[in-house]
Structure 1
């Protein structure tokens, strides 16, 4: 199957309808600018002044036509070849050029390149290299508008190659189910890098996919700026009043390589010859001249004006220095800075009324009170609405808060996490419940590459809490029992908490919602209904990043978290062990000072966790102790963890997998050292 040629008939037809000459010339000016910038960038690329370039030559009409058709405060989520979005939103050229040069004057402080940035000032959210995730983010932005009854539309782009990713399916499916006002523009240029369409999919046109998702699908000549503009304008006006998603396929062709280094030898020459006759700039300009809307003097004036703007932008950008590396700034910008309200922390001598609550009930209580405290908070997850979730934590929430804020989701973990970022962009908070922590793999990319890096890359925080029912001991087998917290403690930009008791379960959850950064909240399933404690009835927070010394002793220190706290307490009680038992509570950032104090006090340390041994958090903390507390040690640091296997199903096998017996042996070994 060759790249699309359905709309390659000649001449191109421009239907001005009732558009004024001023509108038509406005489109021309904005169509011309990205072409002239690209022509300049290709020169600078050869001169080594730009490191990489993804050319949109031949596809400008899509970006320009769609951008000019929207209100200026409606969000657009572009890709590599959508320079016309940025110029159409009047992003200053000196900042654009500085961005491409890696200068601080750009939008990402030199931390990311090309169009990998966003700017809320211009209502643009840039891409990440994985291509598909921004589609779900667009859904989250549209959801925020829908919840606030704002008549707005969001536009996002995908290439035909990127549409093979699972994020494409998930985003369209969620948008259709939730009737979100998103226009999904598919730039069908026939190739994903060098791979032609017939090796990407077995249909011919993307409009065939729309009905399968239950959404309208429209096809346009992507080289006809007036057709794109008119179609998007018409759709946007309709969607603002009748919210729903639309798939818009724009047939076009990429006249240069995927990026300049890849070349174009894999493309048949006749395709270039054919599509060169459909050049979006030349054809529109020729039509304007023929219709007397544009004359030669005005044509040259437009070009001179844009040329001067480009040269001035380059002059400013070139004069800007390269970034000066600052350790404080680089580390500090991984997270949005904020000061937790210490008045909300639970006092040590708490005299507030309490109710005896199980671990699961404390989580539900914290979630409910956070919903009351933050009316902008939206809950999303599988079966969490009327059913109340598989663990019944949100039982009754729909009656209190409504289905707008307590949302059942399709089985689309990636799209839902991405929607959480979209909600954050519009000033909302989001909670995403993974039905089991094991299932987070289906949303892993959104968490570690989108949520975690967003603030560092362009200053947009991801105000998202991901709840993770975790842990073994329930004979649930390899796919419902994993302890996977170490995947996320290795990811800068995330915070990771793991309460071991009902009081902290509520307090840490409330603190996670207060924190504007993405927080992974692990909750042990075995603890849900097996432990209880008096939990304060008021809303309160447990500080993120602070460990708790739950038992004091002189023989050794056991540093642990989650179910490990209970294993250590039970063993100490059984054998009369005098030990410090330090509950980390927060795994990223973990409490270095608390660890230092207990190590310096006792000199003998066991690091205990339910996660498998290799690559677990105990290895990181053990290395830190060796580096910073070596002189205080009286014995080797011992790590105790689960076996380096998958979690088995049969109870005898699961018992061997878990570390309780090995903890007993390690304590005996350390006592006798």
Structure 2
């Protein structure tokens, strides 16, 4: 192995040696602790240390790194205290994730490290978002994101490289090619000669290097960093290496031919660097021994501190409170309710009262008559005017204005940097939105149709939703979801999929039915530091209209709206269901119908639900979604558990058929819940 020190000083070379040796010694200690049962799991990077250390040393300390399992050298090179890392690995509350994560599944904004998730690939898109933030701010910085050779087979790898190339983002994609993805060898993973060939397909330059040569890694990344900043382009670096342990200790290494260990033992990154330092008279055997002893003492002291951490104190309230980032009170943002009564908690869970709302709007106190689609556009435009750091992303949303024309004219008003067409890659764009959030930006993503969100499902339910609970990082991301049937669009453009996300703690799910709520809830969603899925019913875009304040205002997320008060039955609903309920009530004046518009599906307004039950004693939960697994089941179960004494009949559900959404209009009308509304009401009244 040839080492070229170039213009590095002896002090720098010694620093590299210490930085390289420390993670190896920590790992050896961890293997002992694992056998002693003091830590539960370990992903060893022995044999690969030169990559993590060399990469990190080549960056500025405020440049983000997105590491993987085997990158202990990233954390130690960023000077994260070993005792706190040890608490993290024990699952102790004093660790970086309060005991909620293990090993390296955590991040820390102070050290500019973004934690991985087990799905591996999705973090590549996050790197795109961080780099986009640098680009928008015209900062001369790069982002480094790690992948294994196995991860290059994931769709997220393709999407992230493509977005980085199309948007000219300064991202360095580092592939640690150690020959095996757990036990799958490279010949069963891909057929190209080198993974650098994959970069060429995206118009990206790349290079393959010896990942066990600390100076080669450092020098390469230094040069690549300079290239990415000067040219504002991404770059791919494939590092050839080998792991001397199993994927994790329990998996073993029986699947690896024995001769490979002999070959790679000769390429050990530390032993070879030691030989170079001795031959170049940078260090002596005695000085190396002294360094070893100093590091051993450091590790022993830190372990003593780490293993004397306070025992975990379980507190359910603290666990639940950390699922969401706290929302600022927003004293300077007007709150507004139009054409309804606002539910107010009386202080008792057993009683409730309603009062006419106070209207807080900027003078002049003007309103305009808007369709739902116009109100959404108005809220989005005012949010763009209010927040210079709000970025819009989506397919065809720029000059074309989106398939529903909500962002038409926005490019002329706000520019293409802030109104960004995206390639067809939902996962990478949602990841990029999270990356923007790490850098303090807000973002809105428009799904062309809510159905297409499946392509970004992992990013939403595993990255966006969990990141605050995992390591206290907010995700200021709104995903607009044009949803619903009734427009003859068939199985792939008509689904009601809100229930998929209501099951996921950490998300907020909003579903307005009126123009005024659509504007106010969208503004509130954009101001919320948590990820919000904003459902917009396509059939209501141009069929529903109403008075909407011209001012910039919020409608509070998590609060239901009392549409009308009644005595006979309560219909609890949202979205298109509100329109159906109002139409039914208008056509049946002899029935005193109480209608509650949930507006927010996660979190639910349970006090408003309780009040609706109390007013009538008979409840029908109505929604367009299919019956099985729909949110109606959750609402009905909660009522049965908490309001049983107030019921005069079982809670009934009226929902769409448990089939895909058919294309034919007659079949679609039969599919929709509206077709069964009258019979369900009659059944409830006659119970």
Q: How do residues 480-559 of structure 1 correspond to structure 2 at under 5 angstroms?
A: 480-559=493-572
Q: CA RMSD in A?
A: 0.9
Question: How far 1:374 sits from its partner (Å)?
Answer: 1.1
Q: Say if 2:310 is the partner of 1:296.
A: no
Q: Matched residues in 1 for 2:548 and 2:441: separation?
A: 28
Question: How far 1:321 sits from its partner (Å)?
Answer: 2.3
Q: Deviations over 1:472-531 (max 9, x none)?
A: 000100000000000110000000000001000000000001111000000000000111
How many residues align? The count is: 662
Give 2:324's aligned residue.
335
Question: How far 1:349 sits from its partner (Å)?
Answer: 5.2
**3-state SS in 2 of match to 1:446:** helix
Give 1:139's aligned residue.
128
Question: How far 1:297 sits from its partner (Å)?
Answer: 2.0
Give 1:638's aligned residue.
652
Give 2:178's aligned residue.
189
Q: Deviations over 1:512-551 (max 9, x none)?
A: 0111100000000000011111111110110001001111
Q: Say if 2:96 is the partner of 1:107.
A: yes
Q: Matched residues in 2 for 1:411 and 1:53: separation?
A: 37
Q: Matched residues in 2 for 1:506 and 1:64: separation?
A: 49
Q: Matched residues in 2 for 1:83 and 1:524: separation?
A: 47
In terms of mean alpha carbon deviation, does 233-242 or 438-447 score higher?
233-242
In terms of mean alpha carbon deviation, does 440-449 or 96-105 score higher?
96-105
Q: Say if 2:79 is the partner of 1:66.
A: no
Question: How far 1:237 sits from its partner (Å)?
Answer: 1.9
Q: Deviations over 1:202-227 (max 9, x none)?
A: 11211111111101111110000000
Give 2:354's aligned residue.
none
Q: Deviations over 1:140-192 (max 9, x none)?
A: 10000000000000001000011111111111110010011000000011111
Q: Say if 2:336 is the partner of 1:346.
A: yes
**3-state SS in 2 of match to 1:496:** strand
Q: Matched residues in 1 for 2:150 and 2:396: separation?
A: 33
Question: How far 1:413 sits from its partner (Å)?
Answer: 0.2
Q: Say if 2:473 is the partner of 1:460.
A: yes
Q: How do residues 198-347 of structure 1 correspond to structure 2 at under 5 angstroms?
A: 198-341=187-330, 343-346=333-336
Unaligned runs of 5+ in 2: 338-356
Question: How far 1:362 sits from its partner (Å)?
Answer: 0.4
Give 2:419's aligned residue.
406
Q: Matched residues in 2 for 1:338 and 1:231: separation?
A: 43
After superposing on structure 2, the runs of 4+ consecutive aligned residues of structure 1 that deviate more than 3 Å are 347-351
Give 1:42's aligned residue.
31
Question: How far 1:344 sits from its partner (Å)?
Answer: 1.6
- 2:376 aligned residue (363, 381, 387): 363
Q: Deviations over 1:391-440 (max 9, x none)?
A: 00000111111111110000010000001110010011111111000000
Question: How far 1:235 sits from its partner (Å)?
Answer: 1.1
Q: Does the CA-based 8 Å contact 1:340-1:514 persist in structure 2?
A: no
**3-state SS in 1 of match to 2:636:** helix
Q: Deviations over 1:238-291 (max 9, x none)?
A: 222221100100001111100000000000001111011000000001111011
Q: Matched residues in 1 for 2:162 and 2:105: separation?
A: 25
In terms of mean alpha carbon deviation, does 351-360 or 642-651 score higher?
351-360
In terms of mean alpha carbon deviation, does 39-48 or 237-246 score higher?
237-246
**3-state SS in 2 of match to 1:64:** helix
Q: Matched residues in 2 for 1:264 and 1:155: separation?
A: 29
Q: Say if 2:397 is the partner of 1:397.
A: no
Give 1:575's aligned residue.
588
Q: Does the CA-based 8 Å contact 1:409-1:416 persist in structure 2?
A: yes
Structure-2-length-normalised TM-score: 0.96
- 2:626 aligned residue (612, 616, 637): 612
Question: How far 1:355 sits from its partner (Å)?
Answer: 1.1
**3-state SS in 2 of match to 1:386:** coil
Q: Matched residues in 1 for 2:294 and 2:541: separation?
A: 67
In terms of mean alpha carbon deviation, does 522-531 or 195-204 score higher?
195-204
Q: Matched residues in 2 for 1:204 and 1:552: separation?
A: 70
Q: Does the CA-based 8 Å contact 2:566-2:615 persist in structure 1?
A: no
**3-state SS in 2 of match to 1:344:** coil
Unaligned runs of 5+ in 1: 1-11
**3-state SS in 1 of match to 2:106:** coil
Q: Matched residues in 2 for 1:176 and 1:465: separation?
A: 24
Q: Matched residues in 2 for 1:628 and 1:358: separation?
A: 38
Q: Matched residues in 2 for 1:157 and 1:107: separation?
A: 21
Q: Does the CA-based 8 Å contact 1:608-1:618 persist in structure 2?
A: yes
- 2:8 aligned residue (5, 19, 30): 19
Question: How far 1:17 sits from its partner (Å)?
Answer: 1.3
- 1:564 aligned residue (577, 583, 594): 577
Q: Say if 2:112 is the partner of 1:98.
A: no
- 1:118 aligned residue (99, 103, 107): 107
Question: How far 1:338 sits from its partner (Å)?
Answer: 2.2
Q: Matched residues in 2 for 1:372 and 1:297: separation?
A: 65
